[in-house]
């Protein structure tokens, strides 16, 4: 839980987000290691480790927080959906073609998610973060999403697979570390991954076309084990309730910036400051791409999610994201 510190202080053990990404290095880690002691006048300190360097599978995070093995942790909801499919709702493939849509979906679902985590798992939701947009890198020319037909496409979760299948492509579940070797070998022609993370692993060196419409974003929940949260002194709880929303907004702004810079770096534009410049061709989202993605979402991605999630999830959708998105179950 939270360890007792010197002079009546507490020391928190935090499992953060993905190592090496700006969301962690520029925001999560500094907040816990530097800002928290300052904000609490030393009454609270923290140690933090990224979950992918802590020997923790992302699929297990919510369960580990529920059990108290991880008192405070960042859960990537697309991975946590293997435990509870409901949590994937705000970031289903094809739902949010821009960050404004992602904000609407998240805001609409947040009250339900907060209550569900508390009642079902005894977990407190403290913040919601996003990662940069997941877009489509391809080795061969493409004019739009319809050209994914007949291609083998790397995906990372079932809703992405549903979208690719509906476009006529073949989804290939592949870990992030294996993307570039598969592209080099020719066993995959396209990959859905983050704009900047793709640049980091050198994807711009083995692919030539970048379709920049977001497929998903990567929504993550920062959560606390209920007893660990309640054990904190009231003044420390108050600081976290006040400051974590600010951290959340910083992470969202970073993700929007990284999405744009990732595109700039992969295409070799002057706006690229922190990545490696590539020579990819950007394929902008056309009106037909957006129409097709929305249609596939309504006819395929959403119904299949409800099928996996259970009949109650159709009602959850109608009460939360459906009105915000204008898309309802058929």
CATH topology of domain 134-216+272-311: D-Maltodextrin-Binding Protein; domain 2 (3.40.190)
Distance CA 29, CA 324 (A): 33
**Candidates 2.60.40.10, 2.60.40.3080, 3.40.190.170, 1.10.150.130; CATH matching 3-132+217-260:** 3.40.190.170
pLDDT digits (tens, 9 = 90+) for 207-264: 999 999 999 999 999 999 999 999 999 999 999 999 999 999 999 999 999 999 999 9
pLDDT of the residue at 259? 95
The residues that bridge with 172 in the sheet, in sequence order, are: 154
Give the CA-trace dihedral at 293, 299, 305, 306, to 10 degrees: 150
Q: Tell me the two tokens of residue 275.
A: 């990545």
Give the CA-trace dihedral at 305, 259, 99, 97, to 10 degrees: -50
Please list the residue range(s) of the chain that carry CATH number 3.40.190.170.
Answer: 3-132+217-260, 134-216+272-311
Distance CA 254, CA 73 (A): 20
pLDDT (average), residues 261-268: 97
Q: Tell me the two tokens of residue 188.
A: 């995959």
> Which pLDDT band, with edges at 50, 70 and 90, does 8 fall under?
low
Question: Whole-angstrom distance between the N-terminal and C-terminal Cα of the chain?
Answer: 45
Distance CA 63, CA 61 (A): 5
Distance CA 239, CA 167 (A): 47
The share of the chain scoring above pLDDT 70, in percent, equals: 97
Reference 217, options 164, 256, 173, 167; nearest CA is 256
Residue 289 burial (CB count, 10 A): 18
Q: Name the pTM for this structure.
A: 0.93
- Cα three-residue angle 314-287-284, rounded to 5 degrees: 110
Helix spans in 85-178 (H) = 99-121, 158-166
pLDDT digits (tens, 9 = 90+) for 53-67: 888 888 899 999 999
DSSP codes joined into one string, 161-216: HHHHHHTT-EEEE--GGGHHHHHHHTS-SEEEEEHHHHHHTTGGGT--EEEEEEEE
pLDDT digits (tens, 9 = 90+) for 151-190: 999 999 999 999 999 999 999 999 888 999 999 999 999 9
């Amino acid at each position: 839980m939270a360890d007792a510190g010197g002079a009546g202080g507490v020391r928190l053990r935090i499992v953060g987000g993905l190592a090496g990404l700006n969301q962690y290095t520029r925001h999560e880690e500094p907040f816990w290691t530097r800002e928290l002691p300052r904000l609490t006048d030393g009454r609270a300190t923290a140690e933090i480790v990224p979950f992918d360097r802590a020997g923790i599978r992302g699929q297990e995070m919510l369960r580990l927080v529920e059990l108290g093995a991880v008192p405070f942790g960042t859960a990537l909801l697309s991975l946590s959906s293997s435990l509870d499919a409901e949590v994937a709702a705000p970031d289903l493939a094809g739902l949010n073609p821009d960050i404004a849509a992602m904000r609407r979906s998240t805001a609409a679902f947040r009250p339900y998610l907060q209550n569900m985590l508390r009642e079902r798992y005894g977990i407190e939701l403290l913040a919601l973060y996003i990662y940069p947009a997941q877009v489509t890198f391809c080795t061969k020319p493409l004019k739009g999403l319809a050209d994914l037909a007949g291609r083998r496409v790397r995906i990372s979760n079932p809703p992405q697979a549903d979208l690719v299948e509906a476009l006529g492509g073949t989804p290939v579940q592949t870990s992030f570390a294996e993307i570039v070797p598969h592209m080099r070998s020719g066993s995959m022609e396209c990959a859905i991954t983050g704009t900047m993370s793709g640049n980091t692993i050198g994807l711009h060196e083995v692919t030539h076309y970048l379709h920049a419409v977001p497929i998903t974003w990567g929504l993550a929940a920062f959560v606390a084990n209920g007893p660990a949260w309640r054990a904190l002194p009231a003044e420390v709880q108050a600081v976290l309730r006040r400051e974590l929303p600010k951290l959340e907004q910083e992470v969202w702004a970073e993700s929007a910036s990284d999405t744009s810079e990732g595109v700039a770096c992969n295409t070799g534009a002057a706006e690229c400051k922190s990545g490696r410049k590539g020579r990819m061709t950007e394929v902008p989202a056309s009106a037909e791409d957006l129409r097709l993605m929305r249609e596939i979402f309504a006819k395929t991605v959403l119904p299949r999610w409800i099928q996996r999630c259970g009949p109650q999830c159709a009602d959850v959708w109608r009460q939360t994201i459906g009105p915000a998105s204008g898309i309802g179950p058929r």
